[in-house]
Chain A
Amino acid sequence: MQFQLSEEQKMVQKMVRDFATKEVAKGLAERDEHEVFSRELTNQMGELGLMGICFPEEYGGADGDVLSYILAIEELSKVDDGLGITLSASVSLCAWPIFAYGNDAQKKKYLLDLVEGTKLGAFGLTEPNAGTDAASQQTVAVLEGDHYVLNGSKIFITNAGEAETYIVFAMTDKSKGTKGISAFIVEKDTPGFTFGKKEHKLGINTSITMELIFQDVKVPKENMLGKEGDGFKIAMSTLDGGRIGVAAQALGIAQAALDHAVKYSKERTQFGKPIAVNQAIGFMLADMATKVDAARLLIYRAAWLKDQGQPYSKEAAMAKMYASDIAMEVTVDAVQIFGGYGYTREYPVERLMRNAKITQIYEGTNQVQRMVISGAVLK
């Protein structure tokens, strides 16, 4: 068994760490406070090749592995996990399904730009009445000649408004249930495709979340991803990969909270000594460090399985569920260690605690992850 990153993985990790600490960290508190999505940083990620880490060179990628990509999300998320999820949504939820299910023409037209980062991607599955019950899609697509006409709406869409390319799911045959759902590639600026209000969220305020609205949107027939009725299958397999990305986001948050807590507990003096010498603090740090490490091993294993071409659905669900649960616990503990200071916006741990919560909810709630895992265990 190999527990060491390769030279290449270590170099990518260091490169992204340098980018995160030098460029992303600048002005982060202000961006969080004023809910600012930075297109500039997003474009810079594209220029540096972060959108193309795990895609083949023929599509403009760096031909690296999934684990290198996961390391990149982890490093970004240690500094700004809002940017981490921006990357993950574009790569895992938009570029990947086009890579996995798209035909040559679709790859040429859409994948190249996403991989090279000149365009940003998004994924629209969730609807007001179709959350965990994703099969209850109310968005419909009706074939009319050489195009489909889309009507409906999608909510809580990461990168919405900013992304140029969207993977959108819609019912093409209601009578068939999940087998009646199809996936489409929809371009921004298509007539009838508009955006609703910007969501004001508890956390991840440096990422952008909006509603997608489709009113008689004509999507060319050739923009259907896979075959008619493949939508649900495409959505589920895409989310399997996305879960490793969200897990890496949660890991980055948890690691950052641990790092801050360790540093602070060595500096903060009460009763004439650093608070770290109290076992009450030391034991908390020990538990936090163990949880973070366990999450990391689950996540790297899931990424490794994907790299090996082996099934990873259960392992991705385990990684996402565990990493997000411990991210919540570790950030709450970090705030506790910081005490009153931790509750203020003068210190970064309250932001980490606010941001951790979403990782337990999106890409399938952790209850859904337990359904996936128990389903696999009981098979």
Chain B
Amino acid sequence: MELSEQDRRLLNQVQQDFPLHPEPFKVLATQLGIPEQEILERLRLFEQENAISRFGAVFNHHQAGASTLAALAVPEEKIEQVAEFVNAFAEVNHNYEREHEFNLWFVVNAPDQHGVERVLNKISAAYPYPLLDLPMVKGYHIDLGFPLW
């Protein structure tokens, strides 16, 4: 969908430090100079268009539980089948095909390390392809949202 200049300002604003005020959209209306109802209508439209994944909290992986970025080197003809198997785990929240020998990249989140390993072991058992398990060592720029320009 095409974004107007106003849409970009609105979407940049709502990604972080969302107002913790009983009527947050009124606060945004003042900050952005856009009427409250127009803001809500626009955001509802984006939600309908699936452009808003959710309105809520992004928790710190390290404090909230365990997580890893994993990659599998899957034969091209099997990738859809393996992706479907991987997606079926509630612990998996991102899963992308990427242009590399390691072509299936997914993030696993669980309450603890044991939960992460359980998922990786099950995937390995079902599809014993080369697997990378790449937990974060340090974050330098951690999910501050996505700047639109």
A binds B: no
Question: Which residues of B does A touch, CB under 8 Å?
Answer: none
Residues of chain A at the chain B interface (Cβ within 8 Å): none
